[in-house]
Amino acid sequence: MDKTPNYKADLVGVFGHPVAENPTIVMQEAAFQQMNLNWRYLTIEVRQGNLADAMQGLRVFNMRGINLTIPHKVAVLPYLDEISSAAKLMGAVNTVINKNNRLLGENTDGKGFLRSLVEEAGVNPSGKRVVMLGAGGAARAIAVELALAGASEITVLNRSTGRGQNLVALLNTKTAIRADFVLWENDYSVPADCDVLVNATSIGLSPDINVKPRIVYSSLLDSMVVCDVIPNPPNTLFLNETQQRGVRTLDGLGMLVYQGAIGFKLWTGLEAPINVMRAALEEALGV
């Protein structure tokens, strides 16, 4: 047996600002321990304007990869050697893999949502009609992945026109889904043929937990699956109100766990211990 000591851990982490409250470290470190890997996940504050130096640091420290969060998901694109086709469509990267000093960019947000939808809610997106509340980064990632997975129609609601119309134009020109935009001004009545309703806004995110998206809640039907992307708290007012009407729901914790699990596999090459990651996150978030 080789007795040569190895004190060098493999490093991954997240660059963001603010970043102190990002709980990803908890689930990734739990996964490393479970899988007996000498890897560390670092939560690193990188201010806007310092990303170029941080990406150079990633290379110099020979880190195995990095997650990007606010405000770096779009700004990171010029520092990468390769970008996945889905991430290119979204114009945003949340996971970088360092393969022999070649930096590959991927976006696992939408993929995480999709896996949560398939594996936790048992819904195959193919042929489904989707209503999406919001047109920000999360909405964009989810909408692109739903389109690539064969969803047939999507209605995007947004309170401001620019981001909503941009997303719809992207979907209609670059994917096979039929997309339309609705300016979100009043309570929205969800069409009866909607299969999947997604709240991809930040309405209900901690600490503003006593607000919910403006929809006509009586228009929700038990043929629908209603999803929230907000991981904290996972039991948002939106999902509570929906459950009271006997309609199936999917919380944002699953999306967070699966996007991390996909990143874990991209970095380590190993299947992630999903249940361990979810339990660690639930404990950290006090669920």
Tell me: does residue 146 bind ligand NDP (CB under 6 A): no
Q: Nearest residue to ligand NDP, using CB? A: 136
Tell me: does residue 135 bind ligand NDP (CB under 6 A): yes
Tell me: does residue 154 bind ligand NDP (CB under 6 A): no
Q: Number of C-alpha atoms within 13 angstroms, CB side, residue 183?
A: 4
Compute how many other C-beta atoms are within 10 angstroms of the C-beta atom of residue 230.
26
Tell me: does residue 224 bind ligand NDP (CB under 6 A): no
283-286's contacts with Cβ under 8 Å and 24+ in sequence apart are 283/26, 284/23, 284/26, 285/23, 285/231, 285/232, 285/233, 285/234, 285/253
Q: Which is nearer to ligand NDP, 151 or 200 (CB)?
A: 200
Q: Is 8 a catalytic residue?
A: no
Tell me: does residue 144 bind ligand NDP (CB under 6 A): no
Tell me: does residue 215 bind ligand NDP (CB under 6 A): no
Q: Which residues contact 92 (CB under 8 A, 6 or more apart)?
A: 73, 74, 77, 107, 137, 140, 141
**Rounded to an integer, what distance in angstroms lies between the CA atom of residue 186 and that of residue 244?**
22
Tell me: does residue 255 bind ligand NDP (CB under 6 A): yes
Q: Which is nearer to ligand NDP, 10 or 241 (CB)?
A: 241
**Rounded to an integer, what distance in angstroms lies between the CA atom of residue 103 and that of residue 92?**
14
Tell me: does residue 163 bind ligand NDP (CB under 6 A): yes
Which range of residues in 10-18, 48-56, 169-177, 249-257 is near ligand NDP by CB under 6 A? 249-257
- The structure tokens listed for 148 are 């690539």
Closest CA to 133 of 237, 228, 218: 228
Determine the distance from the C-alpha atom of residue 94 to the mean position of all C-alpha atoms in its chain, rounded to a whole number.
Answer: 8
Tell me: does residue 95 bind ligand NDP (CB under 6 A): no
**Contact with ligand NDP (CB under 6 A) among 38, 160, 243, 244:** 160
**Rounded to an integer, what distance in angstroms lies between the CA atom of residue 155 and that of residue 180?**
5
**Rounded to an integer, what distance in angstroms lies between the CA atom of residue 112 and that of residue 31?**
16
**Contact with ligand NDP (CB under 6 A) among 13, 233, 252, 273:** 252
Q: Which is nearer to ligand NDP, 176 or 211 (CB)?
A: 211
Tell me: does residue 268 bind ligand NDP (CB under 6 A): no
* Count of residues in contact with ligand NDP, rule CB under 6 A: 24
User: 36 to each of 15, 239, 254, 268, 273, how far by Cα in Å?
Assistant: 25, 37, 24, 12, 12
**Rounded to an integer, what distance in angstroms lies between the CA atom of residue 277 and that of residue 41?**
13
Tell me: does residue 231 bind ligand NDP (CB under 6 A): yes
Q: Which is nearer to ligand NDP, 128 or 163 (CB)?
A: 163
Selected catalytic residue, list 8, 73, 99, 265: 73
Contacts to ligand NDP by CB under 6 A? 109, 112, 134-139, 158-160, 163, 200-203, 205, 229-231, 252, 255-256, 259
What are the catalytic residues? 73
